Structure 1
Amino acid sequence: MEALTPAARRVLDSAAELFYGHGINAVGVDLIAKHAGVTKKTLYERFGSKEALISAYLRERDERWRSWLTAQVDAAPPQDRILATFDALAAWMRRENPRGCGFVNAAAELPDADHPARAVIADQKHWLRGYLRELCEEAGASEAGELADELLLLHEGATVLNGLSALADPVAVSRRMALAALERAGL
């Protein structure tokens, strides 16, 4: 993301807090501008539209997640890198995702396939699948794509169920299931 002016930074930070905390459709540009201490004119000058601001919020959230996840995985011993994705997810959920996955939440609020944020959401999920596949290939999985699909489902299921408080610790359950999948794959 290109460097933001201080006002644009405040707008994006405010939008991120409000969109995640209250929902994209529940938050209007008036509230974002007020929260950021700018005028609506400034918001529109910096981002062009609410749709572009939503996309910028999701892109920045994705960049933070990718950086967090890859740093956590890179710090793990080679044999533990796949399971480290679940450990990183657990820590991320505690610090960044108390209401579940911001991308799943956004997708639920933005059903129009042509909304520009839908491409950001899809890219985030495709990246995660690709990253998991890469880790499976590095570990020597013979069916890396199939295993990556299974791991992605476990990751995504954990984030959704965490947001719904449906299980006491869905990431721990997903991690155990991932370990079983790795053992079945001979890893």
Structure 2
Amino acid sequence: MDTQTAQARLLDAAEELFYGRGIQAVGMDDIRSASGVSLKRLYQLYPSKESLVDAYLRRRDVRWRQSLESHADAQAAPLERILAVFDWLSGWFGEADFRGCGFINAYGELGATSPAVAEVARAHKDAFRRYLGRLVAAAGGEAWLADQLTLLAEGAMTTAAICGSSEPARQARDAARTLLEAAGLK
């Protein structure tokens, strides 16, 4: 099996298991079994569990942001792009395997003991906030509005994970519309 295929299989298994069960609950042998990649090859590609976690989170970041941005950027009007972020969140929250934000989860599990996990989680959240900042700027809004919209989205992620419902996305979307109107953006 070539390196690219082995990495993809390992990262697919890591994503399913780490996101589904939690990072600390999953051992490298679990990843080996789920991926079909030998333990020797796994450790050749990812010399430690931390390096595998780092690769899993970095790939998840790219995929998550690409999916979100593709959905929101497809909207014609700047304000609709902002609200589409919350529509995308609603769809994500409604997925059968939704367990909340993988970065919040990873940070909660390992952020205090793993500087690498803390850094990846912060980078993901910063990138999300910057994206909302670009959307707000395109709509003629000020930076403070992006900060508040980010908090609405982040709160919706956590609430949806805890309550097992996509309803927090709708509530956050309604609050976002109110903020946009209060900021004079209609």
Q: Could you tell me the TM-score, scaled by structure 2's length?
A: 0.92
Alpha-carbon separation, structure 2, partners of 1:128 and 1:68: 12
Identity of aligned residues (%): 44
CA distance 1:149–1:22, shift in 2 (3 Å): same
CA distance 1:69–1:96, shift in 2 (3 Å): farther
Name the residue aligned to 2:137: 137
Name the residue aligned to 1:159: 157
Q: CA offsets, 1:114-139, max 9 Å, x none?
A: 43122111111001111111111110
Name the residue aligned to 1:40: 39
CA distance 1:168–1:135, shift in 2 (3 Å): closer
Segments of 5+ residues of structure 1 without an aligned counterpart are none
Alpha-carbon separation, structure 2, partners of 1:100 and 1:40: 29
Alpha-carbon separation, structure 2, partners of 1:50 and 1:184: 47
Alpha-carbon separation, structure 1, partners of 2:40 and 2:115: 22
Asked whether the equivalents of residues 136 and 147 of structure 1 are also in contact (C-alpha less than 8 Å), the reply is yes
AA partner of residue 100 (structure 2): G
Residue 117, structure 1, aligned to residue 117, structure 2: yes
Residue 86, structure 1, aligned to residue 86, structure 2: yes
Residue 27, structure 1, aligned to residue 21, structure 2: no
Q: What root-mean-square deviation, in Å, do the aligned CA atoms of Structure 1 and Structure 2 show?
A: 1.8
Alpha-carbon separation, structure 2, partners of 1:161 and 1:182: 22
CA distance 1:167–1:89, shift in 2 (3 Å): closer
Name the residue aligned to 1:69: 68
| Post-superposition offset of 1:147 | 0.5
Asked whether the equivalents of residues 51 and 115 of structure 1 are also in contact (C-alpha less than 8 Å), the reply is no
Q: CA offsets, 1:78-128, max 9 Å, x none?
A: 231111111111122223861111111111101336431221111110011
1:169 to 167, 170, 184: 167
103-112 or 15-24, which deviates more: 103-112
CA distance 1:4–1:139, shift in 2 (3 Å): farther
AA partner of residue 175 (structure 1): R
AA partner of residue 56 (structure 2): Y
Name the residue aligned to 1:15: 14
Name the residue aligned to 1:57: 56
AA partner of residue 86 (structure 1): F
Alpha-carbon separation, structure 2, partners of 1:77 and 1:26: 44
Alpha-carbon separation, structure 2, partners of 1:156 and 1:163: 11
104-113 or 7-16, which deviates more: 104-113
Asked whether the equivalents of residues 154 and 178 of structure 1 are also in contact (C-alpha less than 8 Å), the reply is yes
Number of matched pairs: 183
Query: Would you identify which runs of 4 or more consecutive aligned residues in structure 1 move more than 4 Å?
Result: none
